[in-house]
């Protein structure tokens, strides 16, 4: 199974459409089976691959279906007595990279579809569990874009953006800069390069 997935993955990565339909069919079929039939992590990875193909074609709704199926597989793999919170914690512990990538895609897809509240919830899960600041970057970008879409005229998105920049060591940035601030920052950037 693993070598078939690897071979198919290579062809799909090269844009071979004759393989994509097989991946979608396989993912849909495996999603309908119980966790005891197939390794949940392999099924989650297949769902991620299929979701990436869907995203590349602009099918964010379909991508979300596969991404959420992948997250459910990871959680089901670690659910003792149906404790969802514990399952999520264990999923982060045992499959950190996979869960991070899945949630980044979920957050970005939800933002693209206008499901802002869900996007913010998933971004918050990343903020709460990411090991490094750089692991939060994609979620931070989606977080700012969601706030911008929800509050174009207000200043919430600016404040959130400034908070994120402060976490990255860029404190003391004015929410309403004047030309002097801009020139100063451009000079700092040129010196850093």
Taking residues 113-118, report their average pLDDT: 96
Question: Per residue in 36-80, pLDDT tens?
Answer: 667 889 999 999 999 999 999 999 999 999 999 999 998 876 666
Angle at 116 between CA 111 and CA 121, to 5 degrees: 100
Taking residues 79-84, report their average pLDDT: 72
Please give the pLDDT value at position 10: 60
Please give the structure tokens belonging to residue 12.
């799909």
Rounded CA separation 141/130 (Å): 15
Per-residue confidence band for 184, with pLDDT thresholds at 50, 70 and 90: confident
Expressed in angstroms, the distance from the first to the final Cα of the chain is 47
Which pTM was predicted? 0.79
Please give the pLDDT value at position 155: 78
C-alpha R_g of the chain: 20
Q: Give the SS3 label for residue 71.
A: helix
């Amino acid at each position: 199974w693993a070598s078939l997935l690897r071979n198919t993955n290579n062809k799909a990565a090269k844009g071979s459409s004759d393989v994509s339909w097989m991946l979608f069919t396989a993912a849909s079929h495996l999603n309908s089976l119980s966790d005891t039939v197939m390794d949940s992590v392999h099924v989650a990875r297949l769902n991620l691959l299929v979701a990436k193909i869907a995203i590349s074609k602009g099918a964010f709704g379909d991508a979300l279906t596969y991404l959420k199926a992948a997250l459910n597989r990871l959680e089901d793999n670690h659910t003792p007595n149906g404790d969802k919170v514990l399952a999520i914690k264990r999923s982060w512990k045992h499959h950190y990279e996979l869960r991070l990538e899945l949630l980044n895609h979920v957050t970005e897809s939800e933002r693209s579809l206008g499901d802002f509240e869900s996007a913010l919830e998933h971004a918050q899960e990343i903020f709460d569990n990411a090991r490094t600041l750089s692991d939060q970057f994609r979620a931070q970008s989606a977080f700012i874009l969601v706030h911008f879409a929800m509050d174009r005229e207000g200043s919430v998105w600016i404040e959130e953006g400034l908070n994120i920049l402060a976490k990255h060591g860029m404190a003391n940035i004015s929410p309403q800069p004047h030309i002097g601030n801009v020139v100063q920052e451009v000079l700092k950037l040129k010196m850093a390069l």
